[in-house]
Structure 1
């Protein structure tokens, strides 16, 4: 009760800050843009067939109430602070976008009277017909939708989905915004949702970028910049790929948790959608590399190593090392664990320890385990070699690597992998305490 009272007081405090911030910034930007003469509209031809439905003003206006309620739903101070920061960032990005790319709604709305007419009159006192691009309502709709889902029982979540879908439709059927505004608003909402997630992401380890990680950061950032330029000047859909590649570059710089993959192998809705273009490219790459190599290679009677499983799996347990793909549907009938690792980068000692420990637990409890990464060539290989050194009779790293290579000749372990394995071998042979940690 004491915590709830504290959270309610903080929620009131946040609203005292957020409400004026929202109203003042939005109004000032509207007034400034109203003085400009270079405001255009972006309208698709099919939008002329969107009907005007006055009654949808009710879900449209309900967002203001949901905005306030969201802060009172939080179960902790940290969650409440994250939610407030999400709302502040939404208004800030929207206002900046309003100033840089102002757009105008071009349709003439019919005169509405009666009950719904009163609501439209109230709305018009605040909402001018300028600055529609990066529609704030849609940004907030996405953020509040994700927030309310976290506080709704699963059996009732369909109500949340339906109501927020109505809100999304209402921005078109009340003739408040064009479709381009909705697309931009959703994109910004998802970006904020990725940047400040609803749930706090646990920090599994401290990421210190290595030389290879820094190179990949630069490559992905450069590719994102190229796509951004082409997207702005020629092909707008490339902006989606640019944002996707930017997020991946952040993951190589800040660590694998930048693209948070849950213990169940799932991404947040925002991350899943934002990374879709990059994931398509990775799927094509995976197919090109794996079409001529075995999907699964047995290491011994208990451990199997392979690429991302696209067909049914016979093993009872799965250890997934990918960060670029969600859990494969073919593994839903198996016990599943994941230790996400960056592709083309040597894992940290802590990640290796976690993966080996998890592999041994799965082997002990379920007897047969498939450990996989994307191609089944490096990440899974280094974990299997480390496991053999810890739990089998191999005395040297070279012996263990040779054995694994005999079972799966295509594996690729570079000098950094070998250095890590040598250090791993020293740790578990010279310090029994480290071996106990692996067994935990």
Structure 2
């Protein structure tokens, strides 16, 4: 996924004006959709409940209505803290999607809260009375409160100074707990709400952009087919096993996203930017794939961990697992975040899919970035294992730098330094096309 282009700064007055317009739309939209669905569910002859047995031990804590209500304040402020109109627009769309997704869940799977709430008095009692004026014990799963909490936490996390992050996290945890301790929701509502929130923010990214580049590469369709089969098998298993088996929908969705990557979305599915940061949504949603990639990394660790010095300018290797002696790093992985061993070094990330050949344009972009980094000193070029993605770039750079006359010479030089590299026929063909199109012309 490419980084979102830096938006032209909008004046604070303009941003706040749009924030007000968003609120004027979102407030009635929320109450209309949420209220109508609540009223409809209340009219049904029978509405079931779903609660785990251990939930009877969750205490009712009246004072937690305060953090529960506080989400309304965060909801309104979140639109005013955005620093660009693009961020504000996408955040607004996320809030709209939150209401629509939650209401769809309420209609498809109507549920009600099953515990009778004790009577309360004082300030907490008044707040509960106000809540009950428009909220009925329906609209349970997915919890809209939890969906919004995730979306709001993302925005405030992006704009809260580091020294105050602890307070943001603490208050967010209080809001999370409050949906249970105010006896507003059951645990299943929290889980489904969190899942819905992550999916919404993943589908509507702010820091990066989706890409779609159709291709005719057979290898890509083969890999897409494999991941699609894995996703289908996991989905069927979730349905057959039932109960705890529904957790299998998580990796099923993960591998569906990876399938989309190999069909045309490319590395944009990882939502990793040029600074090596992966969005929290992608980090969570794609965790099963990242764990599989990590297992693969450690499986081949003995073969790939040690860096290979190609020449005085370039060192080639796998994902850094130890301190680096290089002055700069070119990261070609999409599945892993920036290594802590690259902190403090000149750095650029161009995320690419594993086992998938780079296009001529991607090779050219990576070579240009590598040429820029070389000015800082020796560059450590890596992907997961240092076999294919990073090797492709180094081979091309040797031609660009005039250290090899053609792909065969460059490949031989790299193979001499790192014998375990793997470049398939399609990758060599892409390098040949790149050399014919760009070669040494863009010194």
Q: Same fold (TM over 0.5)?
A: yes
In structure 1, which of residues 288, 305, 311 is the aligned counterpart of residue 316 of structure 2? Answer: 305
Taking structure 2 as the reference length, what is the TM-score of the superposition?
0.90
- Once the two structures are TM-superposed, the CA of residue 142 in structure 1 deviates from its matched residue by 0.5
Tell which deviates more after alignment, 227-236 or 290-299: 290-299
Match of residue 373 from structure 1: 383
Moved more, 186-195 or 144-153: 144-153
User: 2: distance between equivalents of 1:206 and 1:251?
Assistant: 9
Alpha-carbon separation, structure 1, partners of 2:280 and 2:84: 23
Indicate whether 1:181 and 2:192 are aligned: no
Secondary structure of residue in 1 paired with 2:316? strand
Equivalent residue in structure 2 for 1:385, among 392, 395, 398: 395
**2:237 corresponds to which of 217, 230, 250:** 230
| SS of corresponding position for 1:325 | coil
Paired with 2:49 and 2:302, the residues of 1 have a C-alpha distance of 48
Please, which of 135, 145, 163 is the counterpart of residue 137 of structure 1?
A: 145
1:178-327 matches, cutoff 5 A? 178-197=186-205, 199-201=206-208, 207-211=213-217, 212-234=219-241, 235-252=245-262, 253-293=264-304, 295-327=306-338
| 2:125 counterpart (117, 122, 127) | 117
> Which residue, 47, 61, 84 being the options, matches 1:53?
61
Deviation of 1:404 after TM superposition, in Å, equals 1.6
The Cα offsets for residues 99-148 of structure 1, whole Å up to 9 and x where unpaired, read as 12222222221101121111101111222112311100000010011112
Q: Which residue of 2 aligns with 1:39?
A: 47
**Structure 2 spans left out of the alignment, 5+ residues:** 1-8
- Corresponding residue for residue 407 of structure 1: 417
Q: Matches of 1:244 and 1:103 in 2, distance apart?
A: 27
Is 1:424 the equivalent of 2:431?
A: no
Distance 1:349-1:206 versus aligned 2 partners, 3 A rule: farther
Alpha-carbon distance, 1:24 to partner: 1.6
Partner of 1:163: 171
Contact 1:101–1:131, Cα closer than 8 Å, also in 2: no
Distance in 2 (alpha carbons) for counterparts of 1:215 and 1:137 = 41
Cα deviation, 1:165-223, whole Å, max 9, x if unaligned, reads 211111111111111211111111111111112x34257x8733342333333432332
Q: 1:333-386: per-residue Cα shift (whole Å, max 9, x none)?
A: 5433211111111112222122222222323312x2221111211111111110
Matches of 2:419 and 2:10 in 1, distance apart?
62
Is the 1:39–1:104 Cα contact (8 Å) retained in structure 2? yes
Greater shift in the superposed pair: 54-63 or 133-142: 54-63
Aligned position for 1:20: 28
SS in 1 for 2:185: coil
Q: Secondary structure at the match of 2:79?
A: helix
TM-score by length of structure 1 reads 0.91
Q: Which residue pairs with 1:336 in the alignment? A: 347
1:354 aligns to what? 365
Provide the rounded CA distance (Å) in 2 between the counterparts of 1:57 and 1:3.
37
Secondary structure at the counterpart of residue 422 of structure 2: coil
Aligned to 1:95: 103
Contact 1:209/1:254, CA 8 A, preserved across alignment = no
How many residues matched?
Answer: 430
What is the CA–CA distance in structure 1 between the aligned matches of 2:164 and 2:216, rounded to whole Å?
Answer: 46
Does the aligned pair in 1 maintain the 2:10–2:85 contact within 8 Å? no
Residue 413 of structure 1 and its aligned partner are, at CA, apart by 1.4
Contact in 2 for aligned 1:107/1:175 (Cα 8 Å): yes
Q: 1:428 to 1:254 in 2, by over 3 A?
A: closer
Structure 2 match to 1:396: 406
Instruction: Report if aligned partners of 2:395, 2:411 keep a CA contact under 8 Å in 1.
Output: yes
| Deviation by residue 1:397-437 (Cα, 9 ceiling, x = unmatched) | 112112222222222212221222112222345x73xx14x
